[in-house]
Chains A and B, each alone.
With several copies, the nearest count.
Chain A
Amino acid sequence: MSNIKKFMFVNRKAPYGTIYALEALEVVLITAAFDQDVSLVFLDDGVYQLKKGQQTKGIETKNFSPAYRALEGYDIEKLYVEKESLEARGISEEDLLVDVTVLGRAEMGALMDQQDVVLSF
């Protein structure tokens, strides 16, 4: 395709308290089908979306976190997490469901500047 754009999805919100994380994931999966260059970014409370061990039975809501593991099957492999956001929450890379690239805030800012379309949730 001649018309490939760089799409970045910026996830800044925690899961379950609001639906944004879940519905963001639905957009990401669709975007993959359009053969675009897709990056996912997790900042602030968005890093909690990737926390291992989510058990949602008690809140009677579907646990959608396994879907992050399925992203690879859709050729979505660019997952970036901001270092400062992890540190402020006491979350380490080992706590995360999937392999990610950890970037410092300045690197993250530079990556954002290279995008064509930024969708933030």
Chain B
Amino acid sequence: MLHIINKSPLANNALDSCLRVAQSGEILLIEDAVYAATAGNAFEGKIRKALERFRIHVLQPDLEARGLADRVIEGVSPVDYGGFVDLTTTNKTCQSWL
């Protein structure tokens, strides 16, 4: 399953909830959730740990908009909108943690 998160991890519990409940699969960070993919963010440790269980992707255009494309945590893969589409096709279902 593809888990889509769109909230900053320091403002909202969506990513925390996803990591608590989902056991494995893929995660895509979009919109304000891209901050979770950046090194130096207080959430970085949780992302590094989550990388042991999940493949984690981040929407590159949203990172660029926020001026943080050069700070992606190692192991998190940037994708464009086409890559986003591909992730929804290679996974049987997707869930947006709104």
- Please determine if A and B sit in direct contact within the complex, based on CB atoms under 8 angstroms apart: yes
| Residue positions of A touching B, CB distance < 8 A | 10, 12-18, 20, 43-45, 48, 51-59, 61, 63, 65, 82, 84, 88-91, 105-106, 108-110, 112-113, 115-118, 120-121
Asked, given contacts A90-B40, A113-B25, whether A54 binds B11 with beta carbons under 8 Å apart, the answer is: no
Q: How large is the interface on B (under 10, 10 to 19, 20 to 34, 35 or more residues)?
A: 35 or more
Instruction: Tell me, in angstroms, the Cα distance from A106 to B21 when the chains sit together.
Output: 6
Asked, given contacts A12-B98, A43-B17, whether A90 binds B39 with beta carbons under 8 Å apart, the answer is: yes
B17 touches A109 (CB 8 A): no
Chain A: minimal CB distance from B86 (Å): 17
Asked, given contacts A10-B95, A16-B66, A55-B67, whether A88 binds B42 with beta carbons under 8 Å apart, the answer is: yes
Instruction: Tell me, in angstroms, the Cα distance from A58 to B68 when the chains sit together.
Output: 13
Q: Does B77 contact A (CB under 8 A)?
A: no
| Residue positions of B touching A, CB distance < 8 A | 1, 6-8, 10-11, 13-14, 17, 20-23, 25, 31-32, 35, 38-42, 44, 60-62, 64-71, 80, 92-98
B65 touches A109 (CB 8 A): no
12 contacts between A and B (CB under 8 A): A12-B14, A12-B98, A14-B66, A17-B32, A58-B61, A88-B42, A89-B38, A91-B40, A112-B21, A113-B23, A113-B25, A116-B93
Contacts of A117 in B (CB 8 A): 93
Instruction: Tell me, in angstroms, the Cα distance from A14 to B68 when the chains sit together.
Output: 13
